[in-house]
Amino acid sequence: MRVCLLASGSGGNSIYIQNGSSSVLIDAGLTGKRIEERLQGIGVDPSTLQGIVVSHEHSDHIKGVGILARRYHLPVWLTEGTLNASKKTFRGTEQIHVMDNDEDFSIGDLAFQAFQLPHDAADPVNFVVTDGNAQVAIATDMGVMTQLVYQRLREVDFVVIESNYDLKMLMDGPYPWDLKKRISGRHGHLPNDGAAETLCNLALEGLQQAVLAHLSEKNNHPDLARETCQDMLVHRGIRNFSITVAAQDRPGDIFVV
């Protein structure tokens, strides 16, 4: 499988996954034009996509879904709760597939397993994706690492995990107290040390590669997120673990899993 984070952060999120003739987007949280530009920037014709899979209805994940679905006649997979919460995105002409929040489904040669996670959305999910050989897990937009989410990550080969904020930066920063509580709460976002702890545990079980994603522009910094994870890995005696930090303003590397 080829995996590329086209955009990652509070300004918009989208992940491209491809295997053979099968290619999909997980979320499209930039404008349709921006998504097209990011795809073309990595040598992908948007018309070759086979669908869009949506994690939840927040605008930084769904902004471009409707226009891309209509423009390229792309089917869209999402939960009923997410569909009901994102009615303004769709015009009734799109091909919608409603899935359960623990459902397995396939798009071409790619198989998806949806799983729930705690976030302040109607029915948020993330996914394990496999081509029958390798497995990739997407785990962003969650306030805490639950046992369910961790179990879904345990046997995959590649993890995209949220590392949204540094707690000190958040608490010392300009956000109002209510927003600080929301971000740091159970249904908010995962902090750097939460991502690092999870990756250390997964590394001890064999994981060797991960991407830190959905970094806050005001409450985090790529070097800080990376160093927090690397320091904890070293402290736990873990070597040869590859960490990449996803960017908001450009597509990241194309990973071959």
Q: Using CB atoms within 10 A of its CB, is residue 101 exposed (0-12), middle (13-18) or buried (19+)?
A: middle
**What is the pLDDT at residue 70?**
98
pLDDT, tens only, 120-169: 999 999 999 999 999 999 999 999 999 999 999 998 999 999 999 999 99
Give the range of the structural domain holding residue 114, as residue numbers without chain letter.
Answer: 2-256
* Percent above pLDDT 90 for the chain: 99
Average pLDDT over residues 2-24: 97
Contact indicator for 115, 126 with CB cutoff of 8 Å? yes
Domain count within the chain:
1
Reading the block at residue 63, the tokens are: 């902004």
Average pLDDT over residues 28-57: 98
With CA atoms as reference, report the closest residue to 136 among 229, 254, 248: 254
**What is the pLDDT at residue 188?**
98
Q: Band of the pLDDT at 244, cuts 50, 70, 90?
A: very high
Q: What is the DSSP letter of 101?
A: T
pLDDT, tens only, 185-208: 999 999 999 999 999 999 999 999
pLDDT, tens only, 102-121: 999 999 999 999 999 999 99
pTM for the whole structure: 0.97
Average pLDDT over residues 75-91: 96
Average pLDDT over residues 58-80: 98
Q: For residue 40, what is the domain's CATH number?
A: 3.60.15.10
Q: Band of the pLDDT at 63, cuts 50, 70, 90?
A: very high
Contacts for 208 with CB less than 8 Å, ≥ 6 apart: 240, 241, 242
**What is the pLDDT at residue 175?**
96
Q: Band of the pLDDT at 88, cuts 50, 70, 90?
A: very high
